[in-house]
Chain A
Amino acid sequence: MKRRWFAGLRDDWRMVRQARDIQGQTRTPRTAQPHELVHRPSPFGTNWARTPGVQAARQVIQTGLLKPVTWNTVKPDVEGLDHLDNLDGPVVIVANHSSHLDAPLIIGSLPWRLRRRLAVGAAADYFFDKKWAAVITALVFNAFPIERRGSDRRRSLAPQLLADNWNLLLFPEGTRSEDGWMTPPRLGPAHLCVQRRVPMVPVVLRGTFAAMPRDRNWRPGQHRVVVRYGKPIHPEPNEGARALHARMMNALARLWAEDELGWYGSLRAQAKGELSLPTGPLEITAAESESESGAGSTDGRPRPVVPSGSWRRVWEASRPMPPKRKD
């Protein structure tokens, strides 16, 4: 009897101790935690960055500091600027994104008439989460915040900026590439161009991942990079955002392929429908995928077998750019 009672005490003690620490406290179960309103900081205002005084200061910074530093860090080859000759703005410039060098390279290479009224879309959660970073980003790049995620995203400033005759530089992938290859771009820029009836200028940057990849802020060395502008894409009457988006991806794919195939070769490949978005070189077809892993797609589209961020993809993407082709 006595033994049973003590055994019961021991069992009860063990049950009481379940999920409790040495002080007898337990963490509140997740679903019992009190509901707290998420504190959303008030949006960082960037209108001050587009006042004449700040614009003048920015020109000094961009011309006297940003461009020299960037051009000293890498060896940029800027191509296709002639496509912009007849553009006065506003335009939406879209580019692939794999490095912090991308924005300075585009800003540094743009003609003055487009650059002087250029605003850059920057991730609100990355560039605008700290006040000091927000001030620098807005001052140097004339950046405005873009909210990338969350159901309660604030209204974007982009349509208003276009209405005010500002050119926009947007990176439709939403973030820098993990491995140097492109990720599927979002529809936002195409929607914007269709709604505001403004042209879109595709730009491809190559070699910037090798020069300054994600998670590496500075990699000294004169890496060759290419900044290649494509022909402006004007929204057709009654053209939808998806159709314009498809044309944009097509243009980016061709501009990308120009390094390997040459200008004419890339045009030929585009005409044959052989080009696709440069999401990585290591792809196999669905049939092969099924035979190897039994988990291939059924729609027959190529599917990467090497996961995003894999060393093999990074290896390929960080291969130094070959010397400029002499056609």
Chain B
Amino acid sequence: MSRPGFVLEVDERTPALLMHQGEGFRLEKLPMGSRVIYPPESLPGLRDVDEEIRKALAAPVGRPPLSELLYAGMRLTIVFDDLSLPLPQMQTPDIRQRVIEHVLEAAAAKGVDDVELIAGNALHRRMTPAELKRTVGDRVYRSFFPHHLKNHDAEDKENLKEIGHTRHGEVVEINRRAAESDLIVYVNITLTPMSGGPKSVSVGLASYRSLKHHHNVQTLRNSKSFNDPPNSAMHHSYNRMAALLAENVNVFQIETTVNNDMFPKQMDFLNKREWEWNLKDQAAFLAVRRANELVPPAKRRQIWHRTAAPYGITGVNAGAPEDVHPITLKNVLRQQLTEVNGPSDIGIWGLPYICPYNVNSIMNPILVMSLSLGYLFNMYQNQPIVRPGGVAIFYHPVPNEFHSVHHPSYIDFFEEVLAETTDPVAIETKFEEQFATDPWYIHLYRNSYAYHGVHPLYMWYWGAHALEHLGDVIFVGGDRKTTERMGFRSASTLQDALEMARERVGSSPTITYQHTPPIAMADVR
């Protein structure tokens, strides 16, 4: 039985605690009395995943069994989450592969010929053939690539279809093939409460015209947090769009959830609580950390990105999106939620090497901002772990490095836009249209492996709520120039950061460290 999550109070017995710091990690001694939020221990995975998939497809919620929805001569479109999920990548076979194989077995048995598989990548970069193959498996890849296994193209006007407008005037425009199919089967991995459910089709297959209604500063500032759907303006928008889609397309959603086993056995100490490290874990920490220092940076990054997670699957549920998603959310929160008593003056987070947008790529400074002030700051329900006007301290080197193929518009955004302003509203007003409609960025998005031109702006909006909430943001070990460009500060050590935070929070602040990864979601009462 897994132990529940809890809040540790640092005392004299507490050893130095693990802190992720980009493509590395360290131990840090936190001040006495600091609180540390630990997620529940990793839940046991399902013993027979294939049997669970079979059961889910045979007895879905709010829909007839999948086999009854399939018939000869139909147009079937299978959409799956792209490589931004899960993080880190899952050890093969990927759960999407397993589910898709079951769906295709059923489709083949019913004589369905017109089958198309689409990666729901929205404005993310296209997945490479190798990445597609890894996700759907060799059998599916060989049968469908390249003509019937594709990435969604949000700039292919011919192949987009406007479904209509919501009562709030939001345009719903999705992939034409999916919109005109008799059945869309969406295969999803819900890693955080933010993803899945109404977001899957309305975002994964959408165009910029449609996405801009919820990916904007106003919506994100009113999403408190975007990991708490009932209190997220962004999810309210998704829900309106999903309701309109439900009237026009037939979606059969298959949602899966994973446990918190994010690191392989050799690095088990990263999954364990520090005071429970045995001698082997301590030796492994020293060996991995010192070896990590020795490896050249490019090789180090490659190794980290190749380190796949041995996730256990904690749930497979299928049916109508609106009926399946609440079950999925319960599973996610069961694994991640820890109750916390009130916010503190200072919040601390260790940033890992990966975020949804740098899989097999480089974590550039904009992505560091999005991971820290967007994803990790928003891992809360009710209220942030830091009080309004408090200070956030993150651990990351924030190097001035960009992947020129994956993130071309990020480079321009960093060099030109951030040099002028860091205010999300000003950026949105002055630069969004320019970046979204730039023909060169669109060309690279469609034909190369680049994120859409507007994507770096979206990443900046992602942190808009945190920027408004916090009094100061400090990066321990961060590159001074890079952090300064983004309007943040850097410190060499935690002590320096706490000293810098004094002007905002006084000399004896309360401190909370959200110990993640593995993913910890705080329910701050």
Contacts and interface: CB of A to CB of B under 8 A. Distances in A.
B8 A32 contact: yes
B278 to A, nearest CB: 7
B266 interface: no
A34 B275 CA distance: 13
A15 B29 contact: yes
Contacts of A5: 290, 293-294
A289 to B, nearest CB: 32
B9 A16 contact: no
B412 interface: no
A161 B2 CA distance: 49
Given A5-B290, A8-B293, A24-B282, A18 B8 contact: no
A16 B11 contact: no
A253 to B, nearest CB: 47
A28 B13 contact: yes
Interface string A6-22: 00110011011011100
Given A29-B10, A31-B7, A31-B11, A9 B290 contact: yes
Interface of B: 3, 6-16, 26-29, 273-275, 277-279, 282, 285-286, 289-290, 293-294
B290 A29 contact: no
A27 interface: yes
A326 B278 CA distance: 79
Main secondary structure of the interface of B (DSSP, over half): mixed
A18 B27 contact: yes
Contacts of B275: 19, 26-29, 32
A23 B275 CA distance: 13
20 contacts: A8-B293, A9-B290, A12-B27, A12-B289, A12-B290, A15-B16, A15-B29, A16-B15, A18-B27, A19-B12, A19-B13, A24-B277, A28-B13, A29-B8, A29-B14, A30-B9, A31-B6, A31-B11, A32-B8, A32-B275
Given A15-B29, A18-B27, A9 B286 contact: yes
A5 B294 CA distance: 8
A30 B13 contact: yes
B351 to A, nearest CB: 19
A124 to B, nearest CB: 32
A19 B14 contact: yes
B325 to A, nearest CB: 33
A206 B370 CA distance: 77
A90 B11 CA distance: 54
A19 B15 contact: yes
A18 B7 CA distance: 20
Given A12-B27, A32-B273, A32-B275, A27 B13 contact: yes
A61 B282 CA distance: 66
A18 B29 contact: yes
Interface in A97-111: none
Nearest to B15: A19
Contacts of B293: 5, 8
